Every structure is written in structure tokens, then in C-alpha cells.
Structure 1
Amino acid sequence: MIVLLVIIHVVVCLFLTGVVLLQQGKSADMAAAFGGQGSQTAFGPRGAANLLTRLTTWSAVVFMITSISLTVLMSRSANHRSVLSDLQTQSSPAKK
């Protein structure tokens, strides 16, 4: 179960990164107002923004759900150990 969630989490991370990088900045609308690349988009001037916004939202939701699920599953796992569990504390007497 954990391996499947890790695989889904990594795929969603890569997809989310790609979708965010594909989005145009808010200043691109100003360039389109003066005739710069506004009519040559594949989805139309507003269609791509809506599609990319929805893809970003849903991938962010899946990312958060997988993150929380992995945290809960790893905390309940029997073989989960702390980094400091092997550290042995040695107390020495106080020096006078």
C-alpha cells in the first residue's frame, strides 16, 4: 500500500510541476491586449487558463491527500523507527 502511494505521489508531483510551468503569468494578458500571441493559442485565449487551473487544483488536492496518507501510514507502520533510536546516551558524572 505504501509503495503504491509513493508511486502515485511521485507521478502527481511531476505532473503538478509540469502543469504549473505551463501556466502563463498574469502579465501575459496585457501582452495579448496589444496583439501579442493572444489569438494563436491552442485552447483559445481563456480556455487554456481554465483547463490548466482545474488541472492544477485537482493535482494539488491529490498531492495533499497522498502526503497526508503517507504520513499517517508511516506513523502507524511497525518497522518505522526514529533517526535517534540507535543513539545511545551516555551520562558522565559532573566535573567539580
Structure 2
Amino acid sequence: MYEVLLVVYLLVAITLVGLVLIQHGKGASMGASFGAGASNTVFGSSGSGNFLTKSTAILAIVFFIISLLLGAITNNRSKPADAWSDLSKPATTQQKTEKPVEKAADVKKDADVPN
């Protein structure tokens, strides 16, 4: 379920970005910014909206809902990723390995070597 939602989330996000990029803004025409022609639509109502506007709104709502669902599913997962993710428990004691005893001949060789 989680993986399916993640794939759908990715597809909705890519589609949403694409739809937003292909739309024209309210002041997209050059004449509107200088007061010519269709400048009354810059601050006025844009009407009921076309197909791109409605589909962008629907995809934004779906994106928001899937985001909330993924957050809720992820919040309920209690499996730690590794031993270091739950630091509330004391660390387990590991047995210390004994250091091998150095031979007297090796110690003497190291002492003879100048640093």
C-alpha cells in the first residue's frame, strides 16, 4: 500500500508541475503589463476557468491528500532503521577483546628504532 501511494504521489507531483508550467499567468501578455489591450483582466476575475485550471486544482487536492496519507502511514511505522535510531535504551555491553600480550623481543625491537 505504501509503495503504491508513493508511486502515485510521484506521478501526481510530476503531472502537477507540468500543468503549472504550461499555463499562462494572468499578466502573461506583454501588453497587459503596460496598460494596453487586455489589462483589465490582470486584476479582474478570470471567469470560470478552463480545463488546465480545473485539472491543476484537482491534482493539487489529490497531492495534498496523498501527502497527508503518506505522513500518517510513515508516522505509525515503529521499525527502527538500525541500532542507533532508538537512543532511549541503554547500549548493550560488548565483550572487550583482550589485547594480545606483546613479546619482550618485539618490545625491544620497537625501542631500538629511532623516531
What is the TM-score when the length of structure 1 is the normalising length? 0.63
Work out the CA distance in 2 between the residues paired with 1:72 and 1:14.
22
Shift of 1:4: 0.4
Greater helix fraction, Structure 1 or Structure 2: 1
Q: What is the Cα-based RMSD across aligned positions, in Å?
A: 3.3
Q: CA deviation at 1:23?
A: 0.5
Say if 2:80 and 2:86, in contact at 8 Å, map to a contact too: no
Q: Where in structure 2 are the equivalents of 1:1-96 lying within 5 Å?
A: 1-28=1-28, 31=31, 34=37, 50-79=50-79, 85-86=85-86
Return the structure number with greater relative CO, CA threshold 8 A, min gap 6.
1
CA contact (8 A) 1:16 1:56 kept: yes
Runs (5+) with no aligned partner, structure 1: 35-45, 89-96
In the comparison of the two structures, how many residue pairs are matched? 78
Greater C-alpha radius of gyration: 2
TM-score for both structures, normalised by structure 2: 0.54
